[in-house]
Structure 1
């Protein structure tokens, strides 16, 4: 919204700078996008007096003038306007001035006569649309040599205010004046509205019929007769131009003026074009049509709201008037509409028809129902002042849904708690009163009874009032504080098994695995394929089938069965996991079986199944399944595990045992080809199975700790090393960490590549450096990085390729 500072000062005596006002309003939530001068292009135009005018000797329509602009000598100017005359005060653009249309005035000869300036018309100055009939003649109150904007009293300081959707009350000069008066403790003065009325009561001349009170809570109309439609006075036209609005006529300009001044959209109908003596507010019929003021025919939907006379629709409610009832130069009688419409209905109509307007913009956000009466009378007073005529006493109105004040409880203690800053009760009272709220008392609990003003439709609950108190106090003044930890971490309740398993599942899903859910029953045949000892099996007394006659002693049979089923259905690229219980025979247990939690992971097929397969796609391998296990341990903040090659299960070859802090966690391996064939595997089949009981013991032993967030940026360096066969990635990572570089933070393997014809691998690592107290410079990092690489190459038989 564009706000004229001069217009604002008519409501409240703010005498500070525009910058100070912008800063304060911004901190109140009304962000100022820009402070500009809408008449900047004519600031160099000055007032001149025409001293002499003579006919041009070589033209029948040009005049040779001498014009005093306050300089040492009058300027000779050739003028083509027919209305130029000696003695006039006129706007003059001197040599070097560039006008709004881009024309730069130069000293020239026009048909042999020297011209050192230009006498301007309103259109040439950007003060009127179209081509003016002649030059602009200024009033005698202007001073020769004075800058034209100052002479005309133009609003040369305009603030572009960004209004949030909830602050519909600030879509007017009055709304921002309220905020300014509150912020700077200034009085607020409303324009005085008085006018004479005569004739029959307006209520007897026009009836109002509202079909749905929810769509239109109130509709009022004032009648004015005997008006003369014409241009508005200069002060109104210049002010509308300053905020980017095109002056139209004194009647229409009055409604626009009040719209921006008070925030109430109004519409002026030509009373003589309305059939009958009834104004009806109703929903449109599906497919009904109306031609709006822009000359476009609109096809309506049943939810659109219409303003109609006794025969036809005459306006699209809250959006735009109809062409069949607009004010024209010959109009003499006015029916002034002042209504409130449901915001949702106006928003849907304007969006569907792609027909935004200043009126719909305000109706969509909510308009002050109580204040609309004052706005209507303000517009009537302006029309009578600028267009003459007579206002009929009273008004035609219908208000099926009167405004009901809202009572809200407000607790200063609650405000202090939510805002994190002490809010004294006196400050809260003063602030809420300054915002226009009525305070009716305090109950024994300390809660105030607050009634928001009718123009603050956004204040609906206590939290809204607390936000207002914080906004006025200054959110920038509230010091940041860390939240209070109300419970000691040392006394925290142990994590439940369900929560632990949920975290485990979340990790597996997060790394792209799909969960398999299998029966707890498997078949002895599948266990025989895995060469599992019969002594550990728990047979089912009454099995459902031969394929489900034993409780699973491992997750592997069920996961391998899921592989077989998916491959049979054409899905060969598998990344599966399962978190479930296993059952082993235990004569000492009451049920003769012992249950334990396990997490199983199985990989089969392409490493990157979603990627482009050309020239060939790599298959998932040991590095993939091992990386998933390593990531799982990091997820639970456990130290790195040891991976030792073993040969315990005959159907896994190769296989490694996973050990962390001396505790055996599980096994990783490749399913032997003959076993994999039995499950229809088409490529290498990798499996990992972890003991959740052992993992849980390690996780519960970890104590939570906190480290400060880094305050300075990291610096990263990549290094590629040639490693001969036998040098593992783990050994290189351990050597990099063992170098203990002073600013070293982390290291990551980026790539491993083996050139053709050699067994020597190329390993690329990314090393991160960071200083805790300053930003690193390249020279500092390069020095430490070089020393680290030298330490690694001295420790291991690796080289830079």
Structure 2
């Protein structure tokens, strides 16, 4: 929304700094985007007085003028305009001036006579399309006076960003209300002095509305005897300052009211309307209609039209029609003022790619109670500027009158939501200044009536926001939230949400980055991973063919995340995702079963490139370590890992079993699949059933044991064994002895001799501890020897 400071001061007596106004409006929700001078291009132009004007001796269409521009000497300027004459005031561009179109004025010689400047037309100053003659200025201006100052042109425009819910701020009046609120200024409405004469518009024009749902109000005034001509300079220049091209006095008034009061209006040539009736109704499918931009539009039956007795004459709320437009010969005018359903106007304007200032406001909602005032003010201005008579009365149909809206307001609750301690009088004063009516008979529960121009105030929470805006969003103190736990936190931890939050905290704590992907993927993604067609949940109205099914595995989304990161130059990728996968299940009420999974995916270097980290690439040990770390954090033990043959997208693929249940898989994404996602290095992945993990965690029985207070004693043993003998088998053989002093067994090293490819050396560290005393070496050696003897007897190894 472009705000003219001159125009604003018609409503509020603001005399402060422009930047301060912009800052305050920003804090009220109207973000200041730019401050600029709309007529900066004509700033060098000065007022000139033509002292002498004679015909050029060698050119009949040229005149040689001597022009007083306030300097000590008169400027000699050769001018080709037919209306140049002695004694008039004109805009002059002196030598060195750059014109709005980019032309730089230089000394010139025209047919042998030197010219030192240019007398300008409105077209050359880009004030209108008028180019038949020069612009003649008022007689009371002084030579040499700056043109912008002399013509009182606007020098300051604020470009404000208005959010879609604040339709009331799409006018000078609406922003004036906000300025009055910000600086506690009085608001003055434009004076209305409408003079009516003869007849009755209600008898001369009948209004019919087919469906009140789409048009709650339509009314019109009739003007007779208008003279269509250019609007006065003050109106034309104000419209130019906000980016509107002046057309004629009648049309310019409708645009002026649109920006001043926010009510779109439309003027019809009454002599071009058929019959004495106007109907608001829908188009027929395929109907062709030519709008004011001289384009033929093909309409749908959902488009709303304004009809005369025989044909459509306007596209409701969007644009008028060629067949009833105001032209230079128009004498009689029908002035339309209406309210239309926002959604209907928005759909029509979007589908036809026909945005307009009118549709922009109708799409967001207009003030139904302001409608009549806006129409009457427009009729008054048209009468004053064109000499037309305003016929008495109004042709009107209002099948759905405006219903006053009242909301409850609880001040204590408002303070609680905002984190403030405001007095009730503060809120009451804020509402009053905003034009809201307050009934505080019940001190704990007020009744607040909202005005018709505040369509965004729909519930009690909106009133809290208004209090916050008036207080100042920037003044609300920042307070850290309390971190102490409550009984509710324990209850929350037992919920699925609490468990998934725990998994997320684990993932972030291990240095993984959380990925969040869409729940829908493409059939091509699932086919690439070799996932079965059976069980896929099709999307009825997919956004695109790339997202036409619900994911049956989380791998496609994570691989797409890898591809996106690689495309952005990130080659050190360590991500996790907690998400649902979906499959068809006829036994379910929704015909779909959902299962929550936690996935981890690694590729690229093991560590970031900064020194002194090791620069090797991520491998199986990394993903295995993450899985073990997670299960350890959840207090779960891996009972078995085994190789899975012929997995569709992982090779190798390892099955992970906890207790009697398979909880997931881990392995390397097949290189041919990884290559499709632009991964040039190995991609390692783990995919675990988060729902099953939660069930196991929730079934835990908590046991307490005293912390050890005596030091441990450690012994290392190295076992020479066949490569086919798993390290886990040796570990379990040692733990299976159930020695009372043996606390833990860990694999610490692995070595494969170069000359023995079928044998390897495995080093284990055994920790011994007594709960009630410090162990002596003799006691540890006795237990350790039992381990050595048992291993040699139970397994095919050498020590």
Same structural fold, with TM-score higher than 0.5 when normalized by the shorter chain: yes
Query: Hey, what's the Cα distance between the residues in 1 that align with 2:184 and 2:717?
Result: 78
TM normalised by structure 1 equals 0.69
Query: Hey, what's the Cα distance between the residues in 1 that align with 2:434 and 2:316?
Result: 31
Verify: 1:105 aligned to 2:105, yes or no.
yes
Match in the other structure for 1:471: 469
Match in the other structure for 1:447: 445
* Counterparts of residues 269-418 of structure 1 (less than 5 Å): 269-418=268-417
Deviation at 1:667, TM superposition (A): 10
Query: Hey, what's the Cα distance between the residues in 2 that align with 1:324 and 1:186?
Result: 46
Query: Hey, what's the Cα distance between the residues in 2 that align with 1:59 and 1:667?
Result: 108
* Counterparts of residues 242-257 of structure 1 (less than 5 Å): 242-257=241-256
Query: Hey, what's the Cα distance between the residues in 1 that align with 2:639 and 2:410?
Result: 62
Query: Hey, what's the Cα distance between the residues in 2 that align with 1:221 and 1:615?
Result: 65
Query: Hey, what's the Cα distance between the residues in 1 that align with 2:439 and 2:578?
Result: 60
The SS at the match of 1:144 is: coil
* Counterparts of residues 294-693 of structure 1 (less than 5 Å): 294-444=293-443, 446-485=444-483, 487=485, 492=490, 496=494, 510=576, 563=644, 567=647, 573=651, 575=653, 582=660, 600-603=663-666, 606=669, 610-612=673-675, 653-655=726-728
Q: 1:209–1:279: 8 Å Cα contact kept in structure 2?
A: yes
TM normalised by structure 2 equals 0.69
Verify: 1:18 aligned to 2:18, yes or no.
yes
Deviation at 1:173, TM superposition (A): 0.3
Q: Structure 1 residues 294, 650: closer, same or farther in 2, change over 3 A?
A: same
Deviations 1:306-335 (A, max 9, x none): 111111111111001111111111111111
The SS at the match of 1:457 is: coil
Deviations 1:638-691 (A, max 9, x none): xxxx999989999862438699xx976999999xxxxxxxxxxxxxxxxxxxxx
Match in the other structure for 2:770: none
Deviations 1:149-199 (A, max 9, x none): 111111121111111111100000000011111111111111111122122
Q: Structure 1 residues 254, 665: closer, same or farther in 2, change over 3 A?
A: farther
Query: Hey, what's the Cα distance between the residues in 2 that align with 1:350 and 1:164?
Result: 19
Q: Structure 1 residues 578, 166: closer, same or farther in 2, change over 3 A?
A: farther
Q: Structure 1 residues 512, 79: closer, same or farther in 2, change over 3 A?
A: same
Q: Which deviates more from structure 2 when the two are superposed, residues 76-85 or residues 4-13?
A: 76-85
Query: Hey, what's the Cα distance between the residues in 2 that align with 1:378 and 1:238?
Result: 19
The SS at the match of 1:442 is: coil
The SS at the match of 1:336 is: strand
Query: Hey, what's the Cα distance between the residues in 2 that align with 1:513 and 1:401?
Result: 49
Deviations 1:285-306 (A, max 9, x none): 1111211111111111111111
Query: Hey, what's the Cα distance between the residues in 1 that align with 2:638 and 2:39?
Result: 80
Match in the other structure for 1:86: 86
Match in the other structure for 1:56: 56
Q: 1:224–1:392: 8 Å Cα contact kept in structure 2?
A: yes
Query: Hey, what's the Cα distance between the residues in 2 that align with 1:395 and 1:514?
Result: 62
Match in the other structure for 1:198: 197
Match in the other structure for 1:756: none
Q: 1:555–1:600: 8 Å Cα contact kept in structure 2?
A: no
Deviations 1:608-666 (A, max 9, x none): 5631299999889xx988999xxx9xxx9xxxxx999989999862438699xx97699
Match in the other structure for 1:65: 65
Q: 2:48–2:90: 8 Å Cα contact kept in structure 1?
A: yes
Deviations 1:747-774 (A, max 9, x none): xxxxxxxxxxxxxxxxxxxxxxxxxxxx
Q: Structure 1 residues 574, 45: closer, same or farther in 2, change over 3 A?
A: same
Query: Hey, what's the Cα distance between the residues in 1 that align with 2:417 and 2:62?
Result: 75
Deviation at 1:110, TM superposition (A): 2.1
Query: Hey, what's the Cα distance between the residues in 2 that align with 1:188 and 1:464?
Result: 23
Q: 2:224–2:388: 8 Å Cα contact kept in structure 1?
A: yes
Q: 2:727–2:762: 8 Å Cα contact kept in structure 1?
A: no
Q: 2:720–2:762: 8 Å Cα contact kept in structure 1?
A: no
Deviation at 1:442, TM superposition (A): 3.4
The SS at the match of 1:62 is: strand
Q: 1:66–1:74: 8 Å Cα contact kept in structure 2?
A: yes
Q: 2:649–2:670: 8 Å Cα contact kept in structure 1?
A: no
Query: Hey, what's the Cα distance between the residues in 2 that align with 1:319 and 1:496?
Result: 56
Q: Structure 1 residues 145, 409: closer, same or farther in 2, change over 3 A?
A: same
Q: 1:54–1:64: 8 Å Cα contact kept in structure 2?
A: yes
* Counterparts of residues 785-800 of structure 1 (less than 5 Å): none
Deviation at 1:512, TM superposition (A): 9.4
Q: Structure 1 residues 493, 139: closer, same or farther in 2, change over 3 A?
A: closer
The SS at the match of 1:35 is: strand
Q: 1:415–1:423: 8 Å Cα contact kept in structure 2?
A: no
Deviations 1:529-562 (A, max 9, x none): xxxxxxxxxxxxxxxxxxxxxxxxx9878x869x
Query: Hey, what's the Cα distance between the residues in 2 that align with 1:616 and 1:201?
Result: 80
Match in the other structure for 2:775: none
Query: Hey, what's the Cα distance between the residues in 2 that align with 1:516 and 1:241?
Result: 58
Match in the other structure for 2:788: none
Match in the other structure for 1:116: 116
Query: Hey, what's the Cα distance between the residues in 1 that align with 2:678 and 2:297?
Result: 59
Deviations 1:728-747 (A, max 9, x none): 9xxxxxxxxxxxxxxxxxxx
The SS at the match of 2:61 is: coil
Q: Structure 1 residues 502, 279: closer, same or farther in 2, change over 3 A?
A: same
Query: Hey, what's the Cα distance between the residues in 2 that align with 1:626 and 1:217?
Result: 58
Deviation at 1:128, TM superposition (A): 1.1
The count of aligned residue pairs is 602
Match in the other structure for 1:155: 154
Q: 2:220–2:396: 8 Å Cα contact kept in structure 1?
A: yes
Structure 2 unaligned regions, length at least 5: 508-552, 555-575, 584-636, 698-713, 736-741, 751-759, 764-799
Deviations 1:360-399 (A, max 9, x none): 0000000000011100001100100111111111111111
Verify: 1:183 aligned to 2:246, yes or no.
no
Q: Structure 1 residues 59, 493: closer, same or farther in 2, change over 3 A?
A: closer
Q: 2:408–2:460: 8 Å Cα contact kept in structure 1?
A: yes
Deviation at 1:438, TM superposition (A): 0.6
Deviation at 1:241, TM superposition (A): 0.8
Q: 1:647–1:654: 8 Å Cα contact kept in structure 2?
A: no
Deviations 1:61-94 (A, max 9, x none): 2211111111111111111112111111111111
| Cα-Cα RMSD | 4.0
Deviation at 1:476, TM superposition (A): 0.8
Deviation at 1:573, TM superposition (A): 3.6
Q: 1:501–1:579: 8 Å Cα contact kept in structure 2?
A: no
Match in the other structure for 2:218: 219
Deviation at 1:58, TM superposition (A): 2.3
Verify: 1:29 aligned to 2:102, yes or no.
no
Deviation at 1:107, TM superposition (A): 2.1
